[in-house]
Structure 1
């Protein structure tokens, strides 16, 4: 039986790999992105998020078997507030906007977090502003900080939001989980490696991946397929690290 999924950020990278996997098995995939998508929307704006939700609702009147908030920007994106807007506020808004559609089919939602979320030294005020839903204040603060705080901070907040909201969504029949990819070979990662400020540090950080290499997008997509599948029907509120063992190496006693 054909299933219907929707995702943001499905035009390239990890999202594109997931889309291809779903379509290869005969599923229908509704993609939201800036280009090459079923719904063209700028998720950095409130209007763009509303347009995306309205478009998904129109195309999935019978409900969704799953939704993935995959759209994201790297730590080298400018201005930094764009990272805050897309990585956190757009993810939360679109998940909240489609949860009733997913509930119609007792489906699953996956938020794309990151193994960078637990890294030390993040600005706690920024994270708290995100979790409080104070977009203007969070955007103003992040412009005084740096790309690491913008990216890892937004993913830290999204991870916490996912955990905090999983129980309520489970009561609606919706499984909400997060996936925490490590470094993955995508165009966004290439931009980080090429950056004069973050490139060297990022390459050095990649050396502690136990697997010995960066992930390919299909490796992350395969884990997403599990979280979307009924095989994971008892999994709710989990953050699945798919990072070649990097998080376990860095935080062996934290779980």
Structure 2
């Protein structure tokens, strides 16, 4: 059965690949973008988000089956925080009622985060975002931007870390899981874009990327490969994935974090095994 999906950032990159894939599968796609699309809106401002929500609801007749909040920036500017975090969260809040009203009975939502969530971030900025304090977050972001692009580069991972934290915080609540809406995130590694092509054109550039973003499985991604995962996450087949950030990164998460997602706070085991008992019965070496 055909479903109605909303995809932001649909004019290029992962957004365009996702919109094309969903449409190819027979679904209706409402594309939102700052330049062109079914709905043209600037998600970096509160008014732009309201315009986006109003435009989508008009296009969809008040009922949608899935939202892909994909629009984002990777610039060392405050606008990156406005779009990546507040744009995504604001849009999802605004469209939640239309998801609840989904005629299919299988509403879904996904945001595009990044493997950059694993990189150093500006903690006060992340906390301001997660607290929903846009005024404070934008003041912090503007200050970081003013210190130049090397400092401003931390805005991107900070915005994506905040977004993944928001997803994890709200996904299991009555507002989302309780309403039957699986809410999750994807975290791509390096996706081939014109900007990335410049970096990987030289041996020095490739070495720098490899050090920061190791991708031992198949190397760099194509946008279509991320789109395939997103398409599943917003499909009726995804019934129980809740609050997860799924790293589609060729192994960056595994290389950078190893086993620490389980081992860092494991309590001492209180269960002994025959091997333990045999070892304890051995005489101490002299």
1:66 corresponds to which residue? 66
What's the offset of the Cα at 1:52? 0.1
Is the 1:73–1:188 contact (alpha carbons within 8 Å) kept by the matching residues of 2? no
The answer to whether 1:124 aligns with 2:145 is no
Give the 5 Å matches for 1:18-33. 18-33=18-33
> Residue 39 of structure 2 contacts residue 52 of structure 2 at CA under 8 Å; is this kept in 1?
yes
Equivalent residues of 2:4, 2:60 under 8 A apart: yes
Which residue number in structure 2 is paired with residue 209 of structure 1? 215
Pairing 1:77-92 to 2, within 5 Å after superposition: 77=75, 80-92=77-89
Shift of 1:59: 1.2
Q: Provide the rounded CA distance (Å) in 2 between the counterparts of 1:189 and 1:97.
A: 33
Q: Does structure 2 conserve the Cα–Cα contact (< 8 Å) formed by 1:162 and 1:176?
A: yes
- Aligned partner of residue 234 in structure 1, secondary structure: coil
**For structure 2, which runs of at least 5 residues remain unmatched after alignment?**
145-150, 262-286
CA drift of 1:135 comes to 1.6
The 3-state SS of whatever aligns with 1:185 is coil
User: Contact conserved, 2:53 with 2:91, CA < 8 A, in 1?
Assistant: yes
1: distance between equivalents of 2:212 and 2:220? Answer: 7
Q: Which structure 1 segments of 5+ residues have no match?
A: none
Distance change in 2, residues 1:202/1:143 (3 Å): farther
Kept in 1, the 8 Å contact 2:111–2:185? The answer is: yes
Q: What corresponds to 2:162 in structure 1?
A: 157
1:171 aligns with 2:178: yes
CA contact (8 A) 1:13 1:187 kept: no
Instruction: Measure how far apart 1:212 and its partner are.
Output: 4.2
CA distance in 2, matches of 1:188, 1:160: 27
User: What do the CA deviations read for 1:184-243 (whole angstroms, capped 9, x no partner)?
Assistant: 01245457x39xxxx688534366211242100001001101111122111111111100
Q: Report the 3-state secondary structure (helix = DSSP H, G, I; strand = E; otherwise coil) of the residue aligned with 2:143.
A: coil
Taking the aligned partners of 1:25 and 1:142, their CA distance within structure 2 comes to 40
Give the C-alpha shift of residue 92 in structure 1: 0.4
- What SS class does the counterpart of residue 237 from structure 2 fall into? helix
**CA distance 1:100–1:187, shift in 2 (3 Å):** farther
- Per-residue CA deviations over 1:70-125 (Å, capped at 9, x if unaligned) read 00001xx25x1100100000000001110111112231000111111122x32111
**TM-score, structure 1 normalization:** 0.90
Q: Work out the CA distance in 2 between the residues paired with 1:202 and 1:143.
A: 27
Alignment partners' CA distance in 2, 1:228 and 1:38: 20
**Aligned-CA RMSD value:** 1.9
- Higher Cα Rg, which structure: 2
